[in-house]
Amino acid sequence: MSVKNLINSDKIPQHVAIIMDGNGRWAKTKGNNRIFGHQNGVNAVRDTVEAASEIGVKYLTLYAFSTENWNRPKLEINALMQLLMKAIREETPRLIKNNVRILSIGDLDSLPSRVKSSLERAKADTAHCNGLSLVLALSYSGRWEIANAAKQIAKLVANNLLNADDIDEKTIGKYLNTSNMPDPELIIRTSGEYRISNFLLWQIAYSEFYFLSKFWPDFAKEDFFEAIYNYQQRERRFGKISEQVNQIDK
Ligand code: FPP
């Protein structure tokens, strides 16, 4: 029996974010090069998008390329950019068919122009879709995003458009790339690493974490459902005590 049948449809997280890790190590176990791992990672992306759509997740954010990934060997960066562009172009018709909208977070201006334009095109072509929003984190890091928000807010203050005393958490949230999205309730990371790697640093304040040892190319729909089921067994207290959380409002 699939664990999907055990999932409570009234408690589906609105936003799930994934650190897709282990492509390189997966390829090594197969005696192949790292690019082969990334290529197979695309299949896991396809399955995960389908799984998230099936159960009604509203936002799925995938950490596809971090700010720090620019420090990888040039050959790998070029292959990853090529692969991203190809995947975005080839998958768009299927995404439209499944009512999936593409969004992105990150410093898109730092991407090669052909990657940026494929992405912009895919976003425009899926803009009418109102099922799952697939958020690609590209040239993204949490610290970059927060610094970027600080810069924009500082400019408003300098131009007397905002009073520094009025800056609160909402103000910061408004200038993040994720301003129109709910914070992720659940973060998944594959490959047995227990790190956040500069991902969604502001937004994960109260996220639940799910780690598994599988490498990303082996991540299957059933693993996604397992993560959701596991999340649903947890008690989220947001700093309160258990009795308060379980109290039924009259
Ligand atoms: C991490 O594995 C993976 C990446 C940095 C790239 C993820 C990209 C894809 C799965 C390709 C396509 C994505 C989309 C959204 C179409 P790693 O290289 O860090 O592996 P390692 O830790 O074993 O070295």
9-141+183-249 — its CATH code? Answer: 3.40.1180.10
Count of beta carbons in the 10 Å neighbourhood of residue 81: 16
The reply to whether 10 belongs to the active site is no
Cα distance between residue 84 and residue 100, in whole Å: 17
- What residue segments make up the domains of the chain, in order of their start? 9-141+183-249
Which residue among 33, 43, 69, 98 is the active-site one? Answer: 69
Cα distance between residue 11 and residue 27, in whole Å: 36
Over the chain, what is the mean pLDDT? 96
Residue whose CB lies within 8 A of the most ligand 1 atoms, among 28, 32, 38, for a mutation test: 38
Total-model pTM = 0.94
Which of 49, 10, 13 is CA-nearest to residue 228? Answer: 13
Percentage of the chain exceeding pLDDT 70: 99
Over residues 137-147, the pLDDT tens digits come to 999 999 999 99
Assign 147 to helix, strand or coil: helix
Tell me, using a 6 A CB cutoff, whether residue 45 lines ligand 1.
Answer: yes
pLDDT of 249 over the 60 cut: no
Over residues 148-182, the pLDDT tens digits come to 999 999 999 999 999 999 999 999 999 999 999 99
Over residues 50-101, the pLDDT tens digits come to 999 999 999 999 999 999 999 999 999 999 999 999 999 999 999 999 999 9
Residue whose CB lies within 8 A of the most ligand 1 atoms, among 19, 20, 136, for a mutation test: 20
